[in-house]
Amino acid sequence: MKRFVTIFTAVLVIASASFQSCKVTYSFTGVTINPEIKTVSIQYFDNRAPLVQPQLSQIFTDALRDKIQGSTSLELVTGYGDVDFSGEIKNYETRPQAITGAETAALNRLSVTVRVKFSNEVEPDKSFDTSFTRYEEYDSSKDPSSVEDELIKLIVEQLMEDIFNKAFVNW
């Protein structure tokens, strides 16, 4: 019995030492961030759309910072981090949708397109420069300025998911 305990202890020590060098990462969100990546920087997204919504740049930039800080343990830094987000708002427009028999629009669509440059200094092959577009539709009988804030909030939330997933979930 004493010999069995000695052998069992030796196997346990060897197995423990072997597993020390292995790194297993579990994630319920699907987020995969290299452990060498410690910092993130998010540059201000200028609004270069033909039609400029004055607060959209700040809303978008703040939302991206909040999403990254709330969903990762990366430290937000000024300047440039191990990963960096930059880009611009390329388009902001309202277009009629669902034309009725009287040739009027029953619905309008607010669309936002954002160009995002994601630089990953640790894993350069995961860097990208991509445009993301999202939209929300609203009843054309409503005044656009009365629904604009809520529509922007919904669109920005969708854009955050798309950008975050492209950068950290590898979809």
CB crowding 78-110: b at 16 or more within 10 Å, else e:
eeebbbbbbbbbbebebeeeeeeeeeebeebbb
Average pLDDT over residues 1-24: 45
pTM score > 0.85 for this model?
Answer: no
Average pLDDT over residues 136-163: 93
Altogether, the residues listed in the chain come to a count of: 171
Judged on CB neighbours under 10 Å (0-12, 13-18, 19+), 119 is middle
**Contact 132/150 with Cβ under 8 angstroms?**
no
Amino acid 119 reads: S
Average pLDDT over residues 157-168: 97
Instruction: Report the SS3 class of residue 60.
Output: helix
Q: How far apart are CA 34 and CA 143, in angstroms?
A: 47
CA distances from 66 to 9, 28, 50, 86, 166 (A): 48, 19, 27, 15, 17
Quick one: pLDDT band at residue 163, thresholds 50, 70, 90? very high
Q: How far apart are CA 163 and CA 115, in angstroms?
A: 10
Q: How far apart are CA 4 and CA 11, in angstroms?
A: 10
Percent of the chain with pLDDT strictly greater than 90: 67
59 has a pLDDT exceeding 70: yes
Q: Which two tokens stand for residue 153?
A: 């909030």
* Backbone Cα Rg of the chain: 24
80 has a pLDDT exceeding 60: yes
* 88-142 residue pLDDT tens: 999 999 998 866 666 666 889 999 999 999 999 999 999 999 999 999 999 888 8
- CATH placement of domain 34-169: 3.30.160.150
- Give the E-state strand segments of 66-160 in sequence order: 75-76, 83-99, 105-120, 128-139
* Residue-range domain boundaries for the chain: 34-169
Q: How far apart are CA 72 and CA 35, in angstroms?
A: 11
